[in-house]
Structure 1
C-alpha cells in the first residue's frame, strides 16, 4: 500500500473510532461514501457536514419513534392512513386529521370515540396513538379491563400510588373498550382515580360502545358514574363512529364475491 493510501486508511480508522466513542454510528458508517459524493459534486465542507448530521439525526428520530411505539403496547400497528373512511361515512375525516396534528395533547383534552362494535373505534384510537408516537410523545394503549385489573392487583400489594403515578407520566393514554365489561365498585374507583388525576393535565382517548346514558349499566354507583363522565367529557372531542359494523359488512361482501 502506498504511503498516501496508508495514511488515508489510518485517518478513516481514526474517524470511525471517534464516531464510536461519541456514539454517532450513522456518521461512522457513511462519512467515506458521502465524502466521495461531495468531491464528485464539488460540495462545500459545510454542505458535507450538514448531510452527515442530517443522516444521524434522521436515524435517531426513527429509533425514537420505534421506541415510543414499543412502549405504547399497541395491540396492532394500525395507522390513520390505513383507515378506510369510505367504509365509515359517519366518521368526520376533518376532525380526525385535526386531532392527528396533536393539538389536543398539548391542551390536555380528552377524545371520546362512541360507536357499535366494528365501526373503527379501536383503529382510530390506535392511529391517533401512532401519530402521537411519531411526534415523540409518550403513549400507552390499554383496555379498561386491563387497567382495572392492574390497579386491583396494585391495591393488594399496597402499590396503587406508584402505579397511578406511572400512568401519569404518559402524554397520552388510550383507554379501549370502556363499557364492554361491567366494573366492580373498587375497580371503578381506581379507574376514576387515574382519569381524574389526568383531567386538564394530560390527554386521554376513550373508546366505548355505550351512549353516556347507559354507562350506569357498567358503573353501578350513579354518583361515581356521573363524576367519571364529567371528567371524561369535559372539553372533550366526541366522535361518533356509527352503528353499522363495516367489519361485518366487509365479511358479508367477501363471502358474496367468493
Structure 2
C-alpha cells in the first residue's frame, strides 16, 4: 500500500492482518524500524538465523511505515534477507508513504532497492491510497461544525 500520511494505509494493513488471523493464518505486524532494530540486535547476539526463520514462518508479515526512515547498509541488508526468506513462500503486506521511486532514500543501494521492489511486486497487488488525509479532513469537519454552532 502506497500513499501519503493519513490516507488509511496502516488501518487497512491492520484490518488485512486481523482478517487473515481470524481465518486461521499466522500473522505478524511490525513497524519497519522495529523489525530492522530487532534484526540488528539479533545479528549482534548471533541469533540472526533464528530471528529471520521466525519471520519466515508466519503466513502473512505486515510491515508498516516503510520509507519513513533511511536505513543504513546493515539494516537494509537484514531487511532484504527477511524478504528473500519469504519470497514465493509466504505473503508480505507493506505500507509506505513513498512511491517505489522514493525507496532509494530508504534503501540507499540502488541495486538492492530494485531487487526488493522486484520481489515485492512480483505477483503482488499495489494499492494506492492517494494524498487526502482522513485525519486532516476530520479535523477540518470538526472545525467547520464548531464555527457553524
- TM norm structure 2: 0.96
User: 2:135 matched to 1:212?
Assistant: no
Distance 1:173 1:225 in 2: 19
The SS at the match of 1:117 is coil
Name 1:157's counterpart in structure 2. 45
1:230 pairs, out of 96, 118, 121, with 118
Q: How does 1:129-148 map to 2 (within 5 A)?
A: 129-148=17-36
Name 1:252's counterpart in structure 2. 140
Distance 2:14 2:125 in 1: 16
What is the Cα-based RMSD across aligned positions, in Å?
0.7
CA drift at 1:210: 0.6
User: 2:59 matched to 1:168?
Assistant: no
User: 2:71 matched to 1:197?
Assistant: no
CA drift at 1:214: 1.1
Distance 2:112 2:25 in 1: 31
Residue ranges of structure 1 left out of the alignment (5+ in a row): 1-112
The SS at the match of 1:119 is coil
Aligned residues: 146
Residue ranges of structure 2 left out of the alignment (5+ in a row): none
**Which string of whole-angstrom CA distances, capped at 9 and with x for unpartnered residues, describes residues 45-91 of structure 1?**
xxxxxxxxxxxxxxxxxxxxxxxxxxxxxxxxxxxxxxxxxxxxxxx
Q: How does 1:1-258 map to 2 (within 5 A)?
A: 113-258=1-146
CA drift at 1:252: 1.2
The SS at the match of 2:52 is helix
- TM norm structure 1: 0.56
Which structure: larger Rg?
1
CA drift at 1:237: 0.5
